Structure 1
């Protein structure tokens, strides 16, 4: 596994200088037709997006890595659309939150009227990050992707001028389901090769009970604490 310093060394030659946050970024819109979306009911994020800081009922688990300029995608099926934040890489499936899948399938929330089933034919396209504004529900400063400070490797892999590197907030929370660590903001200079700095020791693992992540279980629609 590449260390933080090794990743920084590999990226130093290709990383561009940062640009002002006020500049709206452009990116190549990618669209998929003929995909089959499937329900995912247990929150996870291999890149370290914290479930306690976003709406976990509006996320996507795509075959490709999240886009550094906009990890937001719009998925359309049965005449309905949802905007989803991609926070993980799947093993080849187009998985989305169970609640989002249920809405695209029936028009109802999985809590109000849960259903079961397999893949749904759908299309998708990459959207501007502003389309996912409603997914960000607990990050200081607005549209900043909330990341686990002990695991910033995805951010390091992004170009310095990308949206992700310009708009992130690190927290000293150890795991994506927010069960261990401290709910405190950390500071970090990705170009320094130095680990993020937090009020408590980085990567500490005391039990954290103030930031629960709730899953909507498939196919019952009941809420359960992510563990």
Structure 2
């Protein structure tokens, strides 16, 4: 069994190959490629987008790496902290993926998924899951898995129809506020 600190170090290591970077805290979950926050541990999966020069990690992970305590127990403030990071296999993060793979928005991640499927041996091509949820903080859609067959269509097929909703979903993504440690529902 890994300790929380060892897991955090492993996840920070996914940022870049054996280089030093200024790591900054990010207190609001987001994903530029449509990773669904309700299907992952947003406090431990640290870089899941395509932001070129940014090395943001979750505020809780940053707080733990800098102070040794979680952001809800002992919130700190500060800017970039230089950390040594290196790439590791995404297989090391699977225990933090609640859907058994990388959960993506079926209606908003298709370009990312298609590019990954173009590399059939890539981790995302082999381990993605599409859900009929429209936004990264999981407010709108249906919590149901969808299928994609690019030989038939470039749009996923979902039980309720791609991109449909019957109202706002319950809050399932929570942020830890910077500096206060308060846990609040993602806006």
Aligned residues: 170
Of residues 43-52 and 126-135 in structure 1, the stretch that sits farther from structure 2 once superposed is 126-135
Q: TM-score, normalised by structure 1?
A: 0.70
The C-alpha deviation readout for 1:160-211, integer Å capped at 9, x for no partner, is 2322111111110010100000001111124444311111120113333335
Residue 114 of structure 2 aligns to a residue whose secondary structure is helix
Unaligned runs of at least 5 residues, structure 2: 1-14
Q: Is the 8 A contact 2:146 2:158 kept in 1?
A: yes
Q: Distance in 1 between matches of 2:26 and 2:16?
A: 23
Q: Distance in 2 between matches of 1:91 and 1:128?
A: 20
Pair 1:88-2:49 in alignment: yes
Query: Aligned match of 2:66 in 81, 99, 105?
Result: 105
Matches for 1:83-162 after TM superposition, within 5 Å: 86-90=47-51, 92-136=53-97, 138-139=98-99, 142=100, 144-151=101-108, 152-158=110-116, 159-162=119-122
Q: Is the 8 A contact 2:45 2:93 kept in 1?
A: no
- Structure 2 residue aligned with 1:167: 127
The C-alpha deviation readout for 1:96-125, integer Å capped at 9, x for no partner, is 000000011001000111100111110111
Q: Distance in 1 between matches of 2:161 and 2:24?
A: 39
- Structure 1 residue aligned with 2:154: 194
Q: Distance in 1 between matches of 2:51 and 2:121?
A: 26
Q: TM-score, normalised by structure 2?
A: 0.84
Q: Distance in 2 between matches of 1:155 and 1:105?
A: 34
**Structure with more strand by fraction:** 1
CA RMSD of aligned residues (A): 1.8
Unaligned runs of at least 5 residues, structure 1: 1-28, 61-85
Query: Structure 1's 122 and 133: CA in aligned 2 closer, same or farther, altered over 3 A?
Result: same
